[in-house]
Structure 1
Amino acid sequence: MTKAEAAKALERFADGYNTAYRESDPAALAGVETGPLQAMNQPGVRAQRVNRPDGFPGYPDLKLTDAAYTIPKQAGWPKFFLADADSNRDENRWLLLFTRGGADEPWKAAYLSILSEDEVPEFKTDKDGWAEPVAPGAGPDLAVKPGELSTAYTDYLRTGEGETFAEGQATSGQREIRKKLQRTPQFWTEYVDQPAKPPQYAPVALRTADGGALAFFAAHHAEKRTMAEGFRVGEIKDGTAKALVTGKPQTWLSLSRISESAVRIPAQGPVEFLNRLEGVTSAKGG
């Protein structure tokens, strides 16, 4: 794997991404995305196909420039590398984690995290410039093994217990929001969180220069909102859910989501969320 090959993979991703949204074409997106990122974005393109069956000719193309590539030294398959690029969407950096299952398969983006330039960590590299991967079950010198993140996170959302994660929008903030919506005069909400499991949702991690690791992982989330007597489900504000909902939401609405996150795992202490993205994957009502 060379940086020239990585650059071609990034260019191919941008082309497929733009085609998918310009032409409302889920197949184009499936050609350049996989795993959690595809699971999060695919429903949105399907929803766009419902709302814009003729496509979106005026879609503003995504442009990724000034890219840096972190390529770990790996034997066998699957392999991965990280692209860190400037996006024309905002002033942040787009970190795209690409994976490939075999020599006859294309590179596809499995994770996306959007970070400020200051949040992008420095990675550990050897004298030849190769980065160091951290296997899901490895990392005895880390506060948490990468392969344990999804289960630990969903357990925390369910119970609020433990000191694995630092407080923040993705952790204590999520629980605060849920507490406010759990029971109101108009409705009550039930939440179910489940870890996302390999091979489709395999976590990926790279050793950082400070001895910790940057890890990417996914999780599944579901919520069911049931209306109190005398109330009905109102307009569905999420565009993807509104386009894809099945049934007739009157007294209840159920949403399934997937989240994908980038976290900093220290040698000791709580895991810090750097970015968390979430998308609706299905919706049903009755």
Structure 2
Amino acid sequence: MRVRPAVALSVPVVLLAAACGGGDSRPGPALTKDEARRVLARYADAANRAGQRLDGAALAAVETEPQLSMDRAAFKLGRAARQPFVPVRFVKSTFYIPRMDGYPRWFAVDATTSATPPGDTQPRQTRHALVFTKAGPKAPWLLAASPRPGGDELSSVRLDKEGYASTVAPSASGLAVAPSAVGAAHAALLTEGPRAPGASVLAPGPQTTQSYDALRQVRAGLRKNGVTLRSRFVPDSSPVYALRTKDGGALVWYVLRQHESYRSPRRGKLAVTGDLTGLAPAKAARTRLDATVLVQYLATVPAKGHAAVGGMYRKAVAAHAS
């Protein structure tokens, strides 16, 4: 129903043994920075090869959920719309590798990609807040998330003298809101408005109050055209990732799942277009159209105050029309 930006791809990593000697009891880093660079390079190479063939199955070797479903949906759109794949390369990357014991392990990358679409003379650059995960000692590093930062959020991450970050537990206290609770508050706000229970922990902004207002305007516009839209947001089951920031707060990655339902008693009012292209037959929508959308977010949570949602990446991943 509405055109959405297509997906982007991202990075890999390895692990390092725990610090030895010197009585240092801190956990070792999830991997070294050199290993992280190799993970990123491996990812870029594999993702571009898969993209040249629009081969969603091949992405499973370098991606996991929710990124995997989102990029596979982008490949379906590209194939249905006959859009040529544009290879990307990483031109700048800063690694945020936390210290941690056991598995799963993860790390983040502030990465900028460069790509030159057909017809353009200058490359377009896109910034990503990547998260790579590793399920076990013999498992590969896989890209899990890639929201676009709203600003310079990643520079707020606190690093120790060796340049490594610290994780924040999803249920951690001492923050304006626990990392694991940000998604529920955000889902309530986007579904019911800023006065919804729990929504007051979020600061007003483009991804919160303004998004809710924009959705209300879309519903009103469709209603005038004989189409009813119902939209509901819920926290996705994807893991929540958080790093300690310099002010004692946390930088949090989380995912929402949006359920959209379009209804019209008159045929011809609905169509599988825009971001839904490739997810259902183009002419399948007669009076009903249902879609599932995944939205990755990046939020800064202070010790006191309101959580600010800055980064975002949205992609429809399923559609059913009748």
Q: TM-score, normalized by length of structure 2? A: 0.80
SS of the equivalent of 2:203 reads coil
**Which residue of structure 1 aligns with residue 235 of structure 2?**
195
Say if 2:319 is the partner of 1:257. Answer: no
* Distance (Å, rounded) in 2 between the aligned partners of 1:80 and 1:49: 32
**Which residue of structure 2 aligns with residue 236 of structure 1?**
272
Q: For each residue in 1:60-87, what CA deviation from the matched residue of structure 2 results, as whole angstroms up to 9, or x when unmatched?
A: 3211133221111100000011112232
Give runs of aligned pairs for residues 261-280 of structure 1, distance below 5 A. Answer: 261-280=297-316
TM superposition shift of 1:91: 4.4
Say if 2:195 is the partner of 1:159. Answer: no
Residue identity in the other structure for 1:39: S
Residue identity in the other structure for 2:243: L
Say if 2:71 is the partner of 1:34. Answer: no
TM superposition shift of 1:177: 2.2
Distance 1:113 1:249, change over 3 A: same
TM superposition shift of 1:34: 1.0
**Which residue of structure 2 aligns with residue 122 of structure 1?**
156
TM superposition shift of 1:211: 1.5
Q: 262, 269, 280: which is aligned to 1:245? A: 280
* Distance (Å, rounded) in 2 between the aligned partners of 1:242 and 1:129: 44
Q: 13, 16, 22: which is aligned to 2:46? A: 16
Say if 2:71 is the partner of 1:45. Answer: no
Unpaired runs of at least 5, structure 1: none
Unpaired runs of at least 5, structure 2: 1-30, 116-123
TM superposition shift of 1:283: 0.8
Give runs of aligned pairs for residues 104-183 of structure 1, distance below 5 A. Answer: 104-115=138-149, 118-138=152-172, 140-160=173-193, 161=195, 162-183=199-220
TM superposition shift of 1:6: 0.4
TM superposition shift of 1:94: 2.2
Q: 88, 104, 110: which is aligned to 1:62? A: 88
Is the contact made by 2:298 and 2:311 (CA closer than 8 Å) also made in structure 1? Answer: yes
Is the contact made by 1:260 and 1:278 (CA closer than 8 Å) also made in structure 2? Answer: yes
Is the contact made by 1:233 and 1:252 (CA closer than 8 Å) also made in structure 2? Answer: no
Is the contact made by 2:250 and 2:301 (CA closer than 8 Å) also made in structure 1? Answer: yes
- Size of the alignment, in residue pairs? 276
Is the contact made by 1:92 and 1:116 (CA closer than 8 Å) also made in structure 2? Answer: no
Bigger shift: residues 86-95 or 17-26: 86-95
SS of the equivalent of 1:163 reads helix
**Which residue of structure 1 aligns with residue 248 of structure 2?**
211
Residue identity in the other structure for 1:233: K
Bigger shift: residues 249-258 or 29-38: 29-38
Is the contact made by 2:133 and 2:141 (CA closer than 8 Å) also made in structure 1? Answer: yes
